[in-house]
Amino acid sequence: MSFFYLTPVKGDLPIHLLETIILKRLEFLKIVYRKQDIVYNEYVIEGSLYDSVGHYMHCIIVILLNTLEFTNFFIKAEESLFRHRLKTLVAYDLRCFAKKLLRIIRKCQTHLWFLDPLKVICQHLILKHVATHICSDTCCENCSLHIIKVHFKHCLAFIAQRKVPLQNGVAYIPCSKWKMYLTILFTDNLRHRLRTNLGNLENDPRITDLKNLVSKEIPRINNQWTINNVRSNDVDNLCKLFPPCMHNLHRTLRNKHRLSHNQRFSYSLFLKDIGMPVDEALTFWRTEYEQTPNGNHQCCHNWQNDEKKFVYGIRHLYGLEGGKKNYSSGSCSHLQSFTEGSCPFKSFDNEAMMQILNIDNIDPLLSQIKNFQEQKLYTSACMMYLQKRLHCVLNDICDSSFNFSPVKYYFRSKNAHL
């Protein structure tokens, strides 16, 4: 078994032991996420049966829970754990790690894109003098004593940030970046696993019990480390991470102190889904709607006269009033058809769009955006804008224009700035 987790283990375990393995691993991942001192945990010994079972069971639970906050936490924590383990390997252990991976890759029946570059780097790491160099102090930040060659599409993250040379479609990755590259491949492998279709497994009562066990821990994760906690007075600072549509609504609200009904509905749900509690939402909207409106606007309400209506409406969106339905913000395609003037890529003229995107008319990004607009691929234009802005390639489990959303944009942007 390898802590790269290419293949799951097989066998039987009693359910009470599975519960213990899952909870102990979650407790350990919390410590890793908080970057606290790592202590011994018999259920997370690298390469052990418990370690592998815990990882795969958490993957199943993450898929079934299907919550963005917990998924982001899990990916970030597992990536940090892998990076820590890789850093602590001595040359002999690094060679053993590479040999195990090569044996597993040879047996893999499914060909995944990241297996080719993983095989290349492992074939170098099994060499004694290479492993010794990688684990020594002589392999400094810019060391290029050893180099691997991979197809450019296998290291888009490096290329986007111009971290490696590129020639004729081949990327040259120096040894100083091999551990970082292994971490990227590990994360790609993990994200691929989290796209797995589990079929009828969700209906298994044992799995349901385990899922419920973990779901009780999610509020603690959010509350303790503010993975997802937004206060009303944070919004002005956080809006730089917002997608253009929500940044525009926020700017309009701050300037005019009013939004139309649909705009207010969409922006309220966005703030809710990025972590604003209901009491903070009441404070946020009260602050704006107590003020005298500026300029032309479609809303005739104010907090003084319509407080009960506002409070009920906000609490209703949080599932606390009426039918107690807990609403969620929609995808980009839904908002483009539902909320008037919300998507700059669809509704704005060039001047207004350039202003909200903070680009000028000679920026090559503008021509790329126009190409998407001509094909009516407004969400793809937004995703491309995010990639250019973060200087990275989107490899998230949510990277499809069909289900991309302002909330996913925000968390991708937020994670990049952590």
> Is pLDDT of 187 > 70?
yes
pLDDT digits (tens, 9 = 90+) for 200-230: 888 888 898 899 888 877 765 655 544 457 8
Residue 171: its H or E element: strand 170-174
Instruction: Please name the amino acid found at residue 142.
Output: N
pLDDT at 177 over 70: yes
Q: Are residues 328 and 349 in the same domain?
A: yes
- Look up residue 296 and give its two tokens: 């032309």
Q: In percent, how much of the chain has pLDDT > 70?
A: 92
Q: Which of 7-16, 128-137, 331-340, 366-375 has the highest mean pLDDT?
A: 128-137
Q: How confident is the model at residue 62 (pLDDT cuts 50, 70, 90)?
A: very high
Degrees, nearest 5: CA angle 53-59-61 = 100
Q: Which residue has the tokens 């890529």?
A: 345
The boundaries of the domain holding residue 144 are: 89-196
Per-residue pLDDT, 399: 44
Residue 220 and residue 292 in one domain: no
Q: DSSP letters along 46-100, please? A: TTSHHHHHHHHHHHHHHHHH--HHHHHHHHHHHHHHHHHHHHH--HHHHHHHHHH
Q: What is the mean pLDDT of residues 354-373?
A: 89
User: Based on the domain organization, do 96 and 239 belong to the same domain?
Assistant: no
Q: What angle do CA 52, 53, 55 make, to 5 degrees?
A: 65
Is residue 166 pLDDT above 70, yes or no? yes
Contacts of range 248-251, beta carbons closer than 8 Å, 24 or more positions apart: 248/342, 248/344, 248/356, 249/342, 251/356
Residue-level pLDDT at 396:
45
Residues 223 and 233 in one domain: no
* Eight-class DSSP state of 299: -
Tell me what percent of the residues of the chain surpass a pLDDT of 90: 45
Mean pLDDT for 76-95 is: 94
Please report which confidence band the pLDDT of residue 54 belongs to, taking 50, 70 and 90 as the band edges. Answer: very high
How wide is the angle at C-alpha 148 spanned by C-alphas 144 and 153, nearest 5°? 120
Q: How far apart are CA 208 and CA 205, in angstroms?
A: 5
Mean pLDDT of the chain: 87
CB distance 373 to 382 below 8 Å:
no
Contacts of 100 (CB under 8 A, 6+ apart): 1, 2
Residues 176 and 239 in one domain: no
Task: Check pLDDT > 60 for residue 100.
Answer: yes
pLDDT at 188: 92
Contact between 174 and 146 under an 8 Å Cβ cutoff? The reply is: yes
Contact 75, 191 (CB under 8 A): yes
| Model pTM above 0.75 | no
Write the single-letter amino acid at 76.
K
In the prediction, which pLDDT does 225 show?
47
Contact 389, 365 (CB under 8 A): no
Q: Rounded distance, CA 70 to CA 63, Å?
A: 10
Residue 172 three-state SS? strand
Q: According to the model, what pLDDT value does residue 398 have?
A: 41
Please check whether residues 84 and 97 belong to one and the same domain. Answer: no
Residue 341 has a pLDDT of 64
**Mean pLDDT lowest among 157-166, 210-219, 378-387:** 210-219
- The verdict on 390 and 336 lying in the same domain is yes
Same domain, 8 and 110: no
pLDDT of 235 strictly over 90: yes
Residue 219: per-residue pLDDT = 60
Regarding whether 117 and 81 lie in a shared domain, the answer is: no
For 8-19, the pLDDT digits (tens) are 988 899 998 999
Q: How confident is the model at residue 277 (pLDDT cuts 50, 70, 90)?
A: confident
Same domain, 111 and 140: yes
Determine the longest span between alpha carbons in the chain, in angstroms. 77
Is the pLDDT at 322 greater than 60? The verdict is: yes
Q: Say whether both 120 and 30 belong to one domain.
A: no
Q: What is the pLDDT of residue 339?
A: 59
Q: What is the mean pLDDT of residues 142-149?
A: 94
**What mean pLDDT do residues 194-203 have?**
87
Contacts for 16 with CB less than 8 Å, ≥ 6 apart: none
Q: Is the confidence at residue 333, as pLDDT, over 90?
A: no
Do 191 and 314 lie in one domain? The reply is no
The H or E element spanning position 173 is strand 170-174
Query: Tokens 């539902």 appear where?
Result: 338
Number of domains observed in the structure of the chain: 3
**pLDDT number for residue 388:** 84
Beta-sheet strand order (sheet of 166-167): 147-151, 170-174, 166-167
Q: What is the CA radius of gyration of the chain?
A: 24
